[in-house]
């Protein structure tokens, strides 16, 4: 920590208890579970409404959004599976939007707030949140909230890796009323669209979010009216308590202690030097503290991760392990405390740039797992490819002059674990319920042709359990295209555990028609002329355990499936050639 940048530490504890609630009515466990499933169904209705009515593939195909319902104390009632990293920030979005709008007392039925200020909603401005309060018999009883990625909102480029302050990153709406008592605020709506390079697409996505939050409020009210407010509120409290017990029980079984994980960013987007950081994890009986206080100061480039996303990444890492496979609610977060330092890379303040906030958040999850591996080596997987290998591309169609834009993450290999091999070609755990766009959608909408999209043989790390494979992607421009590439972890190997070997790192290239290739990683507004090709090789997962212990029959199966080549098997698995059984 820089002596000149010491700041007060901020501790954020997951979950807020509410005293009282209801009239003492204690619903039976069956009713509690029915209400819980009803809340999850209501969130799913929001998700389906958004998918059906949105205009951009990044929403309806990639699912680059999160939807959730909150009670009047801004505690999460339910979510629908989508983007976990967004999910943990939505409570901050609700709180920030309401505060900026003038407070709870100013809210009216039919209001819909728009909030996208990075430091309080947790993302770059393009990840815009809509928040709608829900009223029952004139009293505020909760909120429906959605955060979704819009293709453009007036940043210096449609996607950026080189911003130096937040003012280059897009138009900001601090909890303004997009709808006031059910009527659209036309001034705000016109201002929003006037700052978009692709206004038709963004207009469609904005209206889809409006439809979906209304759907969520209606579903929440129907559920409350069906069971009555006393039974509903008592069931919610029991639901929170159950989630809390689940996570506390997990940590109670782990050894107390302080554990440190270390990671490294390739660079900050504007400089070339690597950016190492460490995270401390403290287990104290049935609670866990994730401490980011010793990370570097906020960087000049946009790899700064706002505090809400730092909290969300921590919650994602812990609940994926400790949540019992349940859909999380606020109770799951109660045993988790997150410590940050204002002015640091994981708690930036204005005007620090944040456009690539997600990239350090992804790495922090891997680093938290690295720390927990010191506590229980068999608990967590080896490192994954650790990135989204994201691409955003845009242009104007030659025939019509129409502006267009598209964006997609790309899958990576997952790390192997004590129970088996790593999965092939999945999105990073921070986006584990999202998808990557089908190539048919790209070729139908965009002026490009996909040459290759396939599993990358030999990209996973060898081990008793083999790391998962990344992918090899190549597409060629049919018209002039501009692109921003967002590749991280190109210089750090996805490490194995317990003697497992590392996987391959991420990599990208721009290839000319004559075959010359030059590497690309983080690059903003790079021109792709007609006939040129963008190539991405996403990282594989690390292996787990000694490769010499992998059974021969599994190696033979890997060879038959094309997971590994004969040369790879000969180098890492000598038992395949000498006939040893490897057990």
Q: What is the DSSP string of 419-442?
A: TBPPPSSB--GGGTT-----HHHH
Within a domain: 443: yes
Question: Final residue of a domain: which of 246, 279, 313?
Answer: 246
CA separation for the pair 266, 97 (Å, rounded) = 34
Question: Final residue of a domain: which of 246, 281, 300?
Answer: 246
Cβ-Cβ contacts under 8 Å for 516 (sequence gap 6 or more): none
Radius of gyration over every alpha carbon of the chain, rounded to an integer in angstroms: 24
**What is the DSSP code string of 21-41?**
-TTS----HHHHHHHHHHHHH
Within a domain: 8: no
Burial class (CB in 10 A: 0-12, 13-18, 19+), 255: exposed
Within a domain: 356: no
Within a domain: 166: yes
pLDDT string in tens for the chain (583-residue length): 443 345 567 777 666 555 444 444 566 888 899 999 999 999 999 999 999 999 998 899 988 999 999 999 999 999 888 888 877 889 999 999 999 999 999 999 999 999 999 999 999 999 999 999 999 999 999 999 999 999 999 999 999 999 999 999 999 999 999 999 999 999 999 999 999 999 999 999 999 999 999 999 999 999 999 999 999 999 999 999 999 999 999 999 999 999 999 999 999 999 999 999 999 999 999 999 999 999 999 999 999 999 999 999 999 999 989 888 888 889 999 999 999 999 999 999 999 999 999 999 999 999 999 999 999 989 999 999 999 999 999 999 999 999 999 988 999 999 999 999 999 999 988 887 778 888 898 999 999 999 999 999 999 999 999 999 999 999 999 999 999 999 999 999 999 999 999 999 999 999 999 999 999 999 999 999 999 999 999 999 999 999 999 999 999 999 999 999 999 999 999 988 875 444 4
Within a domain: 257: no
Cβ-Cβ contacts under 8 Å for 173 (sequence gap 6 or more): 114, 115, 116, 117, 128, 188, 192
- The sign of the dihedral angle between the CA atoms of 557, 559, 563, 569 is positive
Alpha helices in 181-260 (DSSP H): 186-194, 199-227, 229-252
Q: What angle do CA 425, 360, 44 make, to 5 degrees?
A: 60
**Tokens 């059910």 belong to which residue?**
182
Quote the percentage of the chain above a pLDDT of 70. Answer: 95
The strand ranges marked E within 369-516 are 390-396, 403-408, 448-455, 471-477, 481-486, 507-511
- The sign of the dihedral angle between the CA atoms of 313, 316, 318, 320 is negative
Looking at the fold, whether 241 and 385 belong to one and the same domain comes out as no
Within a domain: 143: yes
Helix H or strand E segment including 46: helix 29-53
Render pLDDT for 286-337 as a digit per residue (tens, 0 to 9).
999 999 999 999 999 999 999 999 999 999 999 989 888 888 889 999 999 9
Our count of domains for the chain comes to 2
Within a domain: 225: yes
Looking at the fold, whether 30 and 176 belong to one and the same domain comes out as yes
Within a domain: 311: no
Q: Which residues pair with 534 in a beta bridge?
A: 475, 510
CA separation for the pair 78, 70 (Å, rounded) = 7
CA separation for the pair 219, 235 (Å, rounded) = 17
Q: What angle do CA 565, 569, 570 make, to 5 degrees?
A: 115
CB 485 within 8 A of CB 508: yes
Q: What are phi and psi of 503, to 5 degrees?
A: -85, 180
Q: What's the domain range around 388?
A: 381-549
| Greatest pairwise CA separation for the chain in angstroms | 77
Render pLDDT for 370-385 as a digit per residue (tens, 0 to 9).
999 999 989 999 999 9
Q: Which residues pair with 403 in a beta bridge?
A: 396
């Amino acid at each position: 920590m820089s002596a000149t940048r010491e700041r007060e530490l901020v501790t954020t504890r997951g979950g807020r208890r509410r005293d009282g609630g209801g009239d003492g009515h204690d619903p039976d466990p069956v009713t509690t579970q029915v209400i819980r499933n009803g809340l999850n169904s209501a969130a799913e209705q929001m998700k389906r409404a958004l998918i059906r009515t949105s205009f951009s593939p990044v929403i309806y195909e990639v699912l680059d959004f999160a939807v959730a319902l909150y009670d009047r104390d801004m505690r999460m009632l339910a979510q629908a599976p989508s983007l976990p990293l967004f999910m943990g920030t939505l409570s901050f979005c609700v709180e920030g939007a309401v505060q900026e709008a003038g407070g709870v007392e100013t809210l009216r039925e039919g209001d819909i707030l728009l909030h996208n200020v990075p430091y309080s909603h947790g993302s770059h401005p393009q990840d815009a949140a809509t928040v709608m309060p829900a009223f029952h018999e004139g009293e505020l009883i909760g909120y429906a909230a959605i955060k979704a990625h819009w293709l453009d909102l007036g940043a210096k480029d449609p996607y950026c890796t080189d911003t130096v302050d937040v003012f280059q990153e897009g138009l900001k709406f601090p909890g303004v009323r997009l709808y006031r008592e059910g009527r659209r605020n036309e001034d705000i709506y016109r201002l929003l669209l006037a700052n978009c390079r692709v206004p038709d697409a963004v207009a469609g996505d904005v209206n889809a979010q409006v439809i979906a939050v209304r759907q969520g409020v209606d579903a929440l009210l129907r559920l409350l009216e069906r069971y009555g407010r006393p039974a509903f509120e008592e069931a919610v409290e029991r639901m929170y308590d159950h989630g809390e017990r689940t996570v506390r029980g997990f940590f109670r079984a782990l050894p107390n202690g302080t554990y440190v994980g270390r990671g490294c960013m390739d660079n900050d987007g504007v400089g070339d030097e690597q950016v190492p950081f460490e995270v401390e994890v403290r287990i104290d009986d049935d609670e866990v503290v994730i401490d980011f206080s010793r990370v570097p100061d906020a960087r000049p480039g946009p790899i700064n991760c706002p505090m809400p996303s730092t909290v969300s990444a921590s919650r994602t890492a812990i609940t994926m392990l400790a949540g019992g496979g349940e859909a999380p609610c606020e109770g799951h977060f109660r045993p988790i405390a997150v410590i940050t330092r204002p002015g640091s890379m994981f708690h930036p303040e204005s005007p620090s740039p944040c456009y690539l906030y997600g990239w350090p958040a992804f790495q922090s999850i891997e680093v938290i797992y690295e720390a927990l591996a010191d506590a229980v080596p068999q608990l967590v997987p080896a490192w994954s490819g650790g990135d989204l290998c994201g691409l955003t591309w845009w242009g104007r169609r030659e025939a019509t002059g129409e502006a267009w834009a598209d964006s997609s993450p790309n899958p990576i290999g997952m790390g192997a674990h004590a129970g088996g091999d790593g999965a092939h070609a999945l999105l990073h755990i921070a986006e584990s319920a999202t998808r990557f766009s089908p190539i048919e959608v790209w070729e139908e909408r965009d002026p490009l042709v996909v040459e290759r999209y396939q599993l990358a043989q030999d990209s996973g790390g060898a081990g008793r359990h083999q790391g998962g494979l990344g992918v090899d992607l190549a597409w060629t421009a049919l018209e002039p295209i501009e692109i921003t590439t967002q590749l991280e972890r190109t210089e750090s190997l996805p490490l194995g555990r317990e003697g497992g070997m590392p996987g391959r790192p991420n990599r990208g290239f721009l290839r000319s028609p004559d075959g010359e290739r030059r590497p690309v990683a983080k690059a903003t507004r790079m021109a792709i002329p007609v006939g040129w090709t963008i190539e991405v090789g996403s990282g594989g997962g690390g292996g787990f355990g000694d490769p010499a212990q992998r059974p021969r029959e599994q190696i033979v199966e890997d060879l038959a499936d094309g997971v590994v080549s004969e040369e790879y098997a000969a180098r890492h698995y000598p038992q395949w050639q000498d006939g040893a059984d490897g057990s």
